[in-house]
Amino acid sequence: MSQATSPPIRRLADWDHERLERLAAEHGTPLYVVDLNRVQANYRRFAGAFPDAHVMYAAKAHTGRAVLSALLDAGADIECAARGELQRAIEAGADPDTLQYTAVNPPAADLDYATDLAADHPGLTITGGATDTFDRLEERGYDGRVAIRVNPGIGTGHHEKVATGKDAKFGIPYDQVPAVAADVAERFDLVGIHAHAGSGVLHDDLDDHCRAIAKVADMGRTVEDQVGDLEFVDFGGGFGVPYREDEEPLDMAVVGEKVRDAVGDLNAQIKLEPGRYVVADAELILTDVNTVKETPATTVVGVDASLATLIRPAMFDSYHPIRNVSAPDREAEPVSVGGPCCTSADVFCTDRPVARPERGDLLAIGNAGAYGYELANQFHSQPRPAEVAIAGDEERVVRRRETLDDVTRLEQD
């Protein structure tokens, strides 16, 4: 799938339903299906809107090896937020000298791993969001490449839990950055500053997002004036995709212009870190209907996927599109779709029109590529699902389905 033939958003109706039914029959449900060609096309569309920027994929959105390898093949570098992501990026083929590690209250083992890695790969960049982090790096004898994470005081995105730009947990308070930069530059190779305002930014949040970008660019200029040239100013990611069927996708050409206007003149290179934009609509979940229950309040549709499969609706009150793959042309009826977990939070939608599901039907839950499998868990002792990757006509299992033995194998008497 080339950038030229890749639409800006992939809706559930755009997937090959016959293929999805066959994959579910072959591999069982619940099942994650990721389209690697779509992953690459999304990355290339984003990078094409910022031809002068250094675009890195934010691994935390989806760290599957198949996804990381596909992005590396497409020319992406990788930004990591944890020790495990560094290791997984390297195992997928990333050159450690190209990696950027954004440390957030990093555990000791994470800093040990990163500094040991940098000893052999001095191109690695470590981003710190607290003066404590820089002190801990120095205690480990590290004096290499660092960036300072700035808290711009402006948060954006689809939910308050992802509006990191105004959350005190993330980054050094804006007014303290010049003094911290002067100190850090004495102890390390200060190569950049970094910020991330939030996640899931669409049209209504774009102006606020650009205000945050402009504020961070101003800080970049201030630091350069006071401390010296920077290699880059990293504005993070945050650009979203429409989850609801009536939402329109971002026009990335327009977004590129808005971001460039917000940045203004800057000597340092612009860095951007898309995550959700790259993978969200490239993956879906297939789930079987096992129960249909008529009640005075609603029609309850029970499926074999649960909040252990996809926790975002329970965690963020997130909307994910749902489609009846088996019978998309049936008359739509309001239904509530939920899984087998013993909690009222295990619900994917409430009173939403869906082509009338019947027991045995196959449903698809869309836009599951970003923070879908990443947040999958074993609640109720449920084994995590398999994941199948497709790329054109090719298909392969990239994560096998867990068994109950997998769930319990770490336990000891």
- pLDDT tens figures, 227-242: 999 999 999 998 999 9
Across the range 348-374, mean pLDDT stands at 98
Q: Is the domain of 98 the same as that of 51?
A: yes
State residue 262 phi and psi, 5-degree precision: -70, -40
- Residue 89: give the domain boundaries: 36-279
| Nearest-5° Cα angle at 342, 337 to 344 | 55
Residue 154 reports pLDDT greater than 90: no
Specify the 3-state DSSP secondary structure of 53: coil
Across the range 97-102, mean pLDDT stands at 98
DSSP 210: H
Is 310 within the bounds of a domain?
yes
Q: Is the domain of 83 the same as that of 118?
A: yes
Cα 129 to Cα 101, 147, 176, 331: the distances in Å are: 11, 9, 12, 52
| Nearest-5° Cα angle at 219, 76 to 251 | 45
State residue 384 phi and psi, 5-degree precision: -70, 150
Is 113 within the bounds of a domain?
yes
Catalytic residue among 210, 341, 342, 349: 342
| Nearest-5° Cα angle at 192, 115 to 59 | 60
Question: Final residue of a domain: which of 254, 279, 304?
Answer: 279
pTM for this one? 0.95
Residue 199 reports pLDDT greater than 80: no
| Partners of 156 in beta bridges | 198
Q: Is the domain of 240 the same as that of 358?
A: no
157-193 residue pLDDT tens: 443 444 444 457 879 999 999 999 999 999 999 999 9
Specify the 3-state DSSP secondary structure of 96: helix
Question: Final residue of a domain: which of 258, 279, 300?
Answer: 279
pLDDT value for 169: 82
Q: Is the domain of 248 the same as that of 319?
A: no
State residue 102 phi and psi, 5-degree precision: -100, 100
pLDDT value for 167: 57
pLDDT value for 197: 80
304: domain CATH number? 2.40.37.10
Active-site residue flag, 342: yes
